[in-house]
Amino acid sequence: MRYGRPVRNAIGLLAALATALGPLVAHFGIAPPLGGFVLFALGGLVAVLTGLVSIVQLVRGKGLTLGGGLGVLAGLCFFGIASQGTGYPRINDFTTDPADPPTFRFAGTLGPNQGRDMGYPPAFAAIQHACCADLHPATLAVPPREAFERALAVAKARPDWTVTQADPDTGTIEAVATSRVFRFQDDVVIRVRATDGGSRVDMRSKSRDGKGDIGANTVRIRQLVDAVERPAAR
């Protein structure tokens, strides 16, 4: 095909450009997070296909174009990032108490959440148990008010969190967590309750975009529980 090589070169260049631009336009707010991710994913998929074709042509001794080379690199980057999302269930709402999950109240008043169902889907409980049975609340041998202040301090110290509401009377804290690259935002609620031996700190983390979360919410919950419990271990 006379124009096969130039076309492959152009496609490889465009695919590599889309793969690189996706995270950038999302990170700097030029496009919404999901839009940037879609651009990245489409560019990455095309880059993978272009890269495979370019490798075949290289093996046949027909050389590697600039676009083909960039397509190979972009495809490898995309494959490496995409492979990190394998093995996670297709749910985006996790909690330390599936039987009685903390309730979002203030989060529902935020613009991006208006009109959304902020309830915890009951069907998620069994799915969460199958993949993440280790999720558990923080248990502290301190009064609820002290546990609340400890949880609030941990939430405020996280650089990717913005605390949106803290009510010591109800023992609830709400926050928005923002991912580093695509700037995806997830809603977080922390609930502190009294127990016979002190306090119990439950947490729930819910993604605003997508049907899955590639483990972001469970990692967030584990980190918070560990940080809240850590001072009690000293």
Give tens-digit pLDDT for 183-227: 999 999 999 999 998 999 999 999 999 888 888 999 999 999 999
Q: Greatest CA separation found in the chain?
A: 79
Which residue intervals of 99-196 are DSSP H helices? 124-131, 144-157
Q: Write down the pTM of the prediction.
A: 0.83
CA dist 12 and 20 (Å) reads 12
**Residue 1: what pLDDT?**
40
Share of the chain above pLDDT 90, in %: 58
Half-sphere exposure of 74 (CA within 13 A, CB side): 33
Give tens-digit pLDDT for 53-62: 877 877 777 7
Query: Which residues have a Cβ under 8 Å from the Cβ of 105 and sit 6 or more positions away?
Result: 165, 172, 174
**Closest alpha carbon to 99 in 118, 126, 130:** 126
Half-sphere exposure of 178 (CA within 13 A, CB side): 16
pLDDT band (50, 70, 90) for residue 2: very low
Give tens-digit pLDDT for 4-31: 677 778 888 898 899 899 989 988 989 9
Check whether 51 has a pLDDT greater than 90.
no
